[in-house]
Amino acid sequence: LYVDQPLGQGQTVPLDRDHANYLFNVMRMGVGDAVALFNGRDGEWRTEVVQANKRAGVLACQGLSAPQGEVPDLWLIFAPIKKARTDFIVEKAAEMGARRILPVLTEFTNSERVRVDRLQAHCVEAAEQCGGTYVPEVAEPVKLDALLADWDPARQLMFCDESLAGGSSALSGVVAGQPWAILIGPEGGFSEGERKRLRALPFAHPVSLGPRILRADTAAVAAMALWQDCLGD
């Protein structure tokens, strides 16, 4: 379970109504049962239920079961698409270990409304689901120009360019161990102007994701898998 509070030896953790309902009504747990808890910062803790009723409860931290792991310094930057597919991208990015998720507004982005709080909640669920101890941060949407104007050149950019479909990936020869970001465009792809600008950046690596033009959500998962294979640990 995820909670947004510090965790440490002897710490007690009050449960909100949703968590209490899940543990005591859905999972049929009670006093004395063990629950694994994490907050995204302090690793995973073994806790015990010390109070339980239908709408509330308390857990007590008994020991660290898994220390906070190192999270690769990988950002996923994507142009928002339809709600369900944006949810999918964020969920999969969290499962695959992205450290930060940034919605970006490009020339052809056709879905600019993004509920960051909702996406952040998906990250928590994804981390709970896959046993991670880290919850990625979802940033507020930003325009591509502003993002690039503020870019730290030490961070390498895997620029997923659909116009290269079928061509070769430029990731060969790239050194691991640096901070990275993956950039995925919107349903309409990148404009010629954006493509020209991105290709001219010294830290950008234009990449093909294979011979077919993938949907943006598929492309995000394929790009993260490719990054993990070539550069991840």
Which residues contribute to the site for ligand SAM (CB under 6 A)? 160-162, 164-165, 184-185, 187, 189-190, 208-210, 212-216, 219
Instruction: Choose among 48, 224, 218, 44: nearest CA to 133.
Output: 44
Element (H, E) at 217: helix 216-231
- Helices 83-95 & 216-231, crossing angle to 10 degrees? 10
* 3-state secondary structure (DSSP) of residue 109: coil
**Dist. CA 100–CA 73, nearest whole Å:** 8
Provide the minimum distance between the beta carbon of 122 and ligand SAM in the complex, in angstroms, as a whole number: 19
Nearer to ligand SAM, 53 or 163 (CB): 163
- Cβ of residue 220: shortest distance to ligand SAM, in angstroms? 8
CB closer to ligand SAM, 157 vs 209: 209
**Alpha-carbon span 32 to 209, nearest angstrom:** 50
Assess contact for 132 and 97: CB atoms under 8 A: yes
- Shortest distance, position 165 Cβ to ligand SAM, whole Å: 3
Closer CB to ligand SAM, 35 or 181, in the complex: 181
Q: How far is the CB of 17 from ligand SAM (least distance, A)?
A: 38
Residue whose CB is less far from ligand SAM, 26 or 168? 168
Residue 17 vs 215, nearer CB to ligand SAM = 215
Least distance (Å) from ligand SAM to the CB of residue 115? Answer: 20
CA distance 49 to 52: 7
